[in-house]
Homo-oligomer: A and B are copies of this chain.
Amino acid sequence: MIDRFALNQATTKYWPLDELVAGCADAGVRAVGLWREEVEEYGVQKAAALVHDAGLTVSSLCRGGFFDKPDWYDENRRALDEAAALGAPSLVLVSGGLSDGSRDVDAARAHIGEAIGRLVPHALSVGVRLAIEPLHPMFCSDRCVVSSLGQALDLAAPHPAEAVGVVIDTYHLWWDDQVWTLIARAGQERRIACFQLADWITPLPEGVLLGRGLPGTGCIELGRFAEAVDAAGYDGFIEVEVFHADVWARPGAAVLADAIAGYQAIVSSGRS
């Protein structure tokens, strides 16, 4: 029943990696989505061994991207290498916002297209997929100018599907009346690299980053998303990825139990 569930590490940000891995293994979880900062702090090789020795796999590595930074090329090559070392099939890309003082969103978007093109050969050589994540439009200026699944698919289109895919994150996409058509298109184009669940709750906090709800606590039709992504042919892991200060303040194992329960309610109700 939780074969496809994965815990994204950001959901339990302060749970130390070794405890998180042990807690997931105890709960019967098969995969974890990891974050570079935590993995680097622990040691990449050591983290890879820890996860694999516990019988888990890495569903994705977060995150590359931020193509608005001067060192984006070297940073993203390093991130691809780390993903490969962890056995993660995908590197999630948060592509960056406008550079300081810029209003040229077209130029920022064009630059992302070029940057991804430059990274494709390395992605292919290490066997890790670049997974373009469209972020909610409220993050357009400061985190990610890729604001819709359509844009992400257009950015991926020039490249082989094994090199470049997209992330479907319910939190970022639920408001879009085109999303169901776009998920079907993503499936036809074999681009779905990662599927992440988080719920929409209000009021949004200052800065809006830490406003996500655990699955089932908000207003998103998560079962409909699960069904649509399934119908599009995706059969990989489904990550629960929630950022919220109140969630982070709780013990990791308790959050994991809630994440699993929320996930189970969705996959059992949402599928035909």
**A219 touching B141, Cβ below 8 Å:** yes
B104, B109, B203, B221: which contacts A103 (Cβ < 8 A)? B221
Within 8 A of B (CB), among A120-143: 136-138, 140-142
* Chain A residues at the B interface, C-beta cutoff of 8 Å: 98, 102-105, 109, 136-138, 140-142, 145, 147-148, 151, 174-177, 200, 202-208, 218-221
**A138 touching B136, Cβ below 8 Å:** yes
Bound CA span A207–B203, Å: 5
Given contacts A147-B176, A202-B142, A204-B207, contact A104 B221 (CB under 8 A): yes
Tell me which residues across on chain B come within 8 A of A176, comparing CB atoms. 137, 147-148
What is the minimal beta-carbon distance from A245 to any residue of chain B, in angstroms? 12
Bound CA span A145–B176, Å: 9
Given contacts A109-B177, A177-B151, contact A138 B103 (CB under 8 A): no
What is the minimal beta-carbon distance from A229 to any residue of chain B, in angstroms? 17
**B138 touching A204, Cβ below 8 Å:** yes
Bound CA span A219–B109, Å: 15
